[in-house]
Amino acid sequence: MALSNSIFLKDGTAQGVAKQRLIETLAEPDKRVIIDTHAERFVIGASFVKLMGHKLNVWLAQKIAPGFHEHIISRTRFIDELIKTSSTDGAEQYVILGAGYDLRAHRLNLPSSLRIFEVDQPEVQNRKRSKLPKELLNSTNVTYVTVDFTHQSLTKQLVDAGFNRRKSTIFTLEGVSQYITKEAISSTIQEIASLTQAASSTFFISYVDESLEKNPEACFGKGYPKAAKRAKLITNLSAKAGEPWISFYSAEEIESLLSQNGYSVKENVTLENLNSHYFAPVGRALPENEIFKLEHFVVAQSHFGSKPIE
Ligand SMILES: C[S@@+](CC[C@H](N)C(=O)[O-])C[C@H]1O[C@@H](n2cnc3c(N)ncnc32)[C@H](O)[C@@H]1O
């Protein structure tokens, strides 16, 4: 379906992720891995999702793509922990690239001194701002910055919005790299590197493994049912929401892209690594044949600046 025919205004995938956070929020408090009480504001049909409840929604998600829900939730939790640690350890600015309906700026109890920049396309950001409660919108430490990574300069927009090149910063690009060209990712990382020459910075990027196209079985856990068919279904669903997955990477490619720009990879994990940390303690560990590991979560640290964040 072409974007113009879609019911979503560039926000189909942002809604999709918010829906998974809503589903997780519906779990019993001692069973959930993250909580996002505002997610429902951004999900079409939220009342129906709430009526179905956590268990039924997760069961349904398992039927479509085992592990998909847990993969999104593990990504959210992984970044939540990264941001909490980085802000405690001295990060002064946090730039959320492709923020969508991410409520991390308000969900986590972050220090009020942390300056947060939310970056996204104007259509998505306007919708987000129209749905947020007034008291959250007025938070003085959050600044909204509109950028289209494919044809606008992140540097100009961020600096105009008050980004300070001398402050230690953490950037996250969560669930975005698959939707934009490799050229746009490369120029965004170059801009981030040049913006942070005078201070330390940490960069998080998630990316879809290139084996999704080349060898789908390798993208899932051993025994994952109908891997090739599921890989196709997942990419088709995204295209239907108006935002097809167009860019896939190998670990070497990401590592080289980051190192060319002065970053070294500190961590590269998937749901396979996080399952035992997040889901086992609440009695929801996935068996190997339900592990959905096609997306990688990477943390890289810059070589610049005199004050390391950690
Ligand atoms: C799957 S959503 C992820 C949203 C958010 N990071 C999260 O995890 O909840 C992808 C986000 O990337 C944004 N995006 C896609 N293409 C973009 C572009 N060319 N420039 C800026 N943002 C873009 C979308 O608007 C959307 O908010």
Q: What is the pLDDT of residue 305?
A: 65
- Nearest Cα neighbor of 95 from 200, 255, 187, 204 is 204
**Residue whose pair of structure tokens reads 């490619």 in the numeric block:** 253
Nearest CA to ligand 1 atom 4: 100
Q: What percentage of the chain reaches a pLDDT higher than 70?
A: 95
- Each residue's pLDDT tens digit, 11-53: 888 999 999 999 999 999 999 999 999 999 999 999 999 999 9
Q: pLDDT band for position 275 (50/70/90)?
A: very high
- Each residue's pLDDT tens digit, 218-246: 999 899 999 999 998 888 888 887 889 99
- Nearest Cα neighbor of 298 from 260, 247, 246, 263 is 263
**Residue whose pair of structure tokens reads 């801009």 in the numeric block:** 191
Q: In which region does residue 98 sit, left (phi positive, over 0), alpha (psi from -120 to 50) or beta (all else)?
A: left
d(CA 79, CA 297): 9
pTM flag (> 0.75): yes
CB distance 92 to 167 below 8 Å: yes
Nearest CA to ligand 1 atom 27: 100
> How far does the centroid of ligand 1 lie from the alpha carbon of residue 120, in Å?
6
Nearest CA to ligand 1 atom 14: 98
Q: CB neighbours of 253 closer than 8 A, spacing ≥ 6?
A: 210
Q: Taking all residues of the chain, what is their mean pLDDT, rounded to a whole number?
A: 92
Q: What is the pLDDT of residue 285?
A: 97
Q: What is the pLDDT of residue 1?
A: 32
CATH of domain 66-302: 3.40.50.150
> How far does the centroid of ligand 1 lie from the alpha carbon of residue 97, in Å?
8
Distance of CA 8 to the CA centre of its chain: 19
Q: pLDDT band for position 7 (50/70/90)?
A: very low
**Domain map of the chain by residue range?**
66-302
Q: What is the pLDDT of residue 150?
A: 85
Mean pLDDT across 78-90? 96
Size (the chain), residues: 310
